[in-house]
């Protein structure tokens, strides 16, 4: 029995934040943002709309598309770096309650932008070991809550949103999660960091005054490492499975920056048509970015049952991963 990608869903908040809006908030320009990142717009959750609300809405859609009854879901994983609560309860537990699902294993994972691919890997392991049958995985972020809107180097990049998938079972290898590779290197932990609010720098007036509770990024260093690591990782997973870029229907990279996607796509010889691109619409939504991109391609009619996707991701930790996944949702 193999694990299989049975359904996708996503949710995008209604309020948009354009480059023009950001021009009024910090010293930046629409032209700079487009040229350096490819981002034109991002969406921001309402004040009383939390990560669990975004995640629950994406999950409802994925569950309805899967045709499963909620009672058939036996595990929930939520990948997020913006949980509703810092320590407990987990956002997965809050989402489970909002969905009306109880008595199942539910937990969060923290792997920043790589969270969805990490969750996919965990779901695969639980399903293929026979422990679980239908796992709901969610990538949900309210990044606007940890962004410093006076810091032009980060506030232009990020947006809010959620994506969710149902991972079930199949007997066919050509309908499975063919292979997943996930990894990390903590030596680069300061490249992407929220220094305050945890036990090292607990919440205090000083932490808040110094803006330590906000996301900080060494953008240029992260950029260079991302291009090299992703190219190597994707090459490795293709070679290991005796595949090359022409066997892939859609390359679904983490949507952080058009220039990273373009550089990796070119090195791997993907055509424009193969590369899934949504960063211009949503900005970087961290763990939500890959499932939101898959959902966009599905809803626009490009992604079809049986297509082979190559996912790849890179984020804080530093963490990264890649996955070869057949899309096994039936309309």
Spatial contact of 250 and 303, defined as CB atoms under 8 Å apart: yes
* Interface with ligand ACO (CB under 6 A): 28, 32, 36-37, 112-113, 152-153, 156, 192, 219-220, 222-223, 226, 256-257, 260, 284, 286, 314-316
C-beta of 289 vs 329, nearer to ligand ACO: 289
C-beta of 25 vs 131, nearer to ligand ACO: 25
User: Least CB distance from residue 161 to ligand ACO, whole Å?
Assistant: 13
User: Least CB distance from residue 226 to ligand ACO, whole Å?
Assistant: 5
Which two three-digit tokens encode residue 116? Answer: 């969805």
User: Least CB distance from residue 286 to ligand ACO, whole Å?
Assistant: 5
How many whole angstroms separate alpha carbon 303 and alpha carbon 276? Answer: 10
C-beta of 168 vs 315, nearer to ligand ACO: 315
Spatial contact of 286 and 217, defined as CB atoms under 8 Å apart: no
Instruction: Supply angle C-alpha 72, 118, 161, rounded to 5.
Output: 75
Single out the catalytic residue among 113, 121, 155, 295.
113
Annotated active-site residue 257? The verdict is no
How many whole angstroms separate alpha carbon 291 and alpha carbon 58? Answer: 10
Q: What is the DSSP string of 157-192?
A: TB--EEEEEEEEEES-GGGSEEEEEEEE-GGGGGGE
Sign for the CA dihedral angle at 144, 150, 154, 155 comes to positive
In 10 A of CB 221, how many CB atoms?
13
For the chain, how big is the Rg over CA atoms in Å?
19
Single out the catalytic residue among 19, 121, 257, 284.
284
User: Least CB distance from residue 84 to ligand ACO, whole Å?
Assistant: 18
Annotated active-site residue 254? The verdict is yes
C-beta of 2 vs 223, nearer to ligand ACO: 223
Residue matched to tokens 């057949």: 326
Half-sphere exposure of 50 (CA within 13 A, CB side): 11
C-beta of 260 vs 325, nearer to ligand ACO: 260
Helices (H) and strands (E) in the chain, counts: 11, 13
Which two three-digit tokens encode residue 187? Answer: 């030596």
User: Least CB distance from residue 156 to ligand ACO, whole Å?
Assistant: 4
In 3D space, the residue among 308, 209, 193 whose CA is nearest the CA of residue 250 turns out to be 308
C-beta of 133 vs 152, nearer to ligand ACO: 152
User: Least CB distance from residue 309 to ligand ACO, whole Å?
Assistant: 20
How many whole angstroms separate alpha carbon 176 and alpha carbon 194? Answer: 36
Annotated active-site residue 155? The verdict is no
Single out the catalytic residue among 93, 121, 213, 254.
254
Cis peptide upstream of residue 318 (ω within 30 degrees of 0): yes
For the annotated catalytic residues, the residue numbers are 113, 254, 284
């Amino acid at each position: 029995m193999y694990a299989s990608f049975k359904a996708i869903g996503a949710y995008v908040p209604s309020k948009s934040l354009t480059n023009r809006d950001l021009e009024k908030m910090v010293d930046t320009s629409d032209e700079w943002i487009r040229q350096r990142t490819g981002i034109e717009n991002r969406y921001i959750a309402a004040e009383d709309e939390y990560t669990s609300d975004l995640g629950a809405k994406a999950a409802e859609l994925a569950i309805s598309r899967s045709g499963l009854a909620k009672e058939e879901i036996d595990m929930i994983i939520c990948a997020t770096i913006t949980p509703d609560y810092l320590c407990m309860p987990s956002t997965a537990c809050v989402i489970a309650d909002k969905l009306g699902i109880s008595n199942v294993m539910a937990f969060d994972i923290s792997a920043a932008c790589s969270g969805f691919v990490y969750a996919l890997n965990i779901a695969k392991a639980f399903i293929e070991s026979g422990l679980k049958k239908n796992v709901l995985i969610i990538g949900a972020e309210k990044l606007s809550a940890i962004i410093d809107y006076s810091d032009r180097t980060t506030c232009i990049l990020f947006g809010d949103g959620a994506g969710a998938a149902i991972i079930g079972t199949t007997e066919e290898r050509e309908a499975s999660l063919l292979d997943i590779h996930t990894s990390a290197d903590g030596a680069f932990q300061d490249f992407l960091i929220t220094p305050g609010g945890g036990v090292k720098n607990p919440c205090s007036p000083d932490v808040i005054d110094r803006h330590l509770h906000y996301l900080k990024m060494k953008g240029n260093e992260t950029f260079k490492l991302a291009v090299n690591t992703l190219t190597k990782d994707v090459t490795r997973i293709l070679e290991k499975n005796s595949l090359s870029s022409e066997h892939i229907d859609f390359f679904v990279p983490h949507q952080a920056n058009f220039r990273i996607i373009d550089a990796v796509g070119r090195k791997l010889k993907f055509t424009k048509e193969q590369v899934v691109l949504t960063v211009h619409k949503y900005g970087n939504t961290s763990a939500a970015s890959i499932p939101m991109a898959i959902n966009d391609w599905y809803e626009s009619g490009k992604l079809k049952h049986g297509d082979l996707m190559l996912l790849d991701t890179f984020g804080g930790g530093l963490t990264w991963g890649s996955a070869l996944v057949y899309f096994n949702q039936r309309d």
